[in-house]
Amino acid sequence: MDQASKLRQMVSTNNEMTNARVIAVTSGKGGVGKTSFSVNLAIEIAKMGKKVVIFDADFGLANVEVMLGIRPKYNLLDLIHNNKSIEEIITNGPNNIGFISGGSGVSELATLDKDSIKILISEMVKLDNLYDVVIIDTGAGITDSVMEFVMVSPEIVLVVTPEPTSITDAYSLLKVLRRKDKFNPLYKTINVVSNRISDENEGMDIYNKINTVSSKFLNTKLKFLGNIPQDKNASLAIIEQKPVTMAYPTSPVAKGIHTIATKLMQDEEIVNAPKDGIARVFFDFIKSRRKSKI
């Protein structure tokens, strides 16, 4: 059996085990609160008794580190090149959530040799068995690495604000995603979160605008996950380098995120469906980025 076959078998065998639920959080543009949402979503899910880890796939920035007020000792590069295990590159965050920094390792995934890929996938198999939920905080926009992570993730959360540019850029992201040959909306759950809204009607209007054009022109239907209100406490928490759901748990923004987290975890259609797991997501990501069969 060649190495490529062994890799595929490794992932297939893992699919028969209990895999983590993988959720990619993304946005059409920066500055919409995507990373803050990812961090606080992880904390709220952890409060429900689930083991959660955030993978920071935005290798250009260290926003998750800033948001959590922690500096990881190791990142994905150390796993790939410095013989560190997946357990060693996980940093403990608040409320027992885990955090993995992608560093510049994400950009190297497309150029890894087969031995390095095998090591990476075997460690991701471990991650599937360590955690119930893996939240991928992607970069913002429609760069290749962002789009590939979004494309291979079974669940997507698209964060949008009332700004016209946020709405148009979110649609642009969906349009680019739909044009990819391997993207099939029938096998994806794409949720919309309306952030920094003044009232519930504004949040629903944002969703309706995006869903209408997406359904009509892209043949892709979206689900509305919920609203997060504009709240000064969100900004205060960022300045304090504390997640708002912990710093100001009774604030409107914290309550909004809690409601969304609850809805996500109570979605029986998703919860009861077979899970691809993070090993499969990484395998598909590398395969897509390499534009070749592995």
pLDDT at 136: 96
**Nearest alpha carbon to residue 24 among 194, 106, 138, 159:** 138
**Is 138 in contact with 29 (CB distance < 8 Å)?**
no
**Is 155 in contact with 23 (CB distance < 8 Å)?**
yes
At 75, phi and psi to the nearest 5? -140, -170
- Provide CB contacts within 8 A for 142, sequence distance 6+: 28, 172, 173, 176
pLDDT at 271: 80
What are the distances in angstroms from CA 231 to CA 160, 251, 253, 268?
16, 8, 6, 31
pLDDT in tens, the chain (294 residues): 555 565 566 666 555 457 999 999 999 999 999 999 999 999 999 999 999 999 998 765 678 888 888 889 999 999 999 999 999 999 999 999 999 998 777 878 888 888 999 999 999 999 999 999 999 999 888 888 889 899 999 999 999 999 999 999 999 999 999 998 888 888 899 999 999 999 999 999 999 999 999 999 999 999 999 999 999 999 999 999 999 999 999 999 999 999 999 999 998 778 888 898 999 999 999 988 776 555
In 165-293, which ranges are E strands?
A: 189-197, 223-229
pLDDT at 183: 85
pLDDT at 104: 75
pLDDT at 288: 84
Q: What span, in angstroms and rounded, lies between the C-alpha atoms of 140 and 201?
A: 26
Q: What span, in angstroms and rounded, lies between the C-alpha atoms of 58 and 103?
A: 8
Q: What span, in angstroms and rounded, lies between the C-alpha atoms of 238 and 281?
A: 30
**Is 171 in contact with 203 (CB distance < 8 Å)?**
no
**Is 171 in contact with 195 (CB distance < 8 Å)?**
no
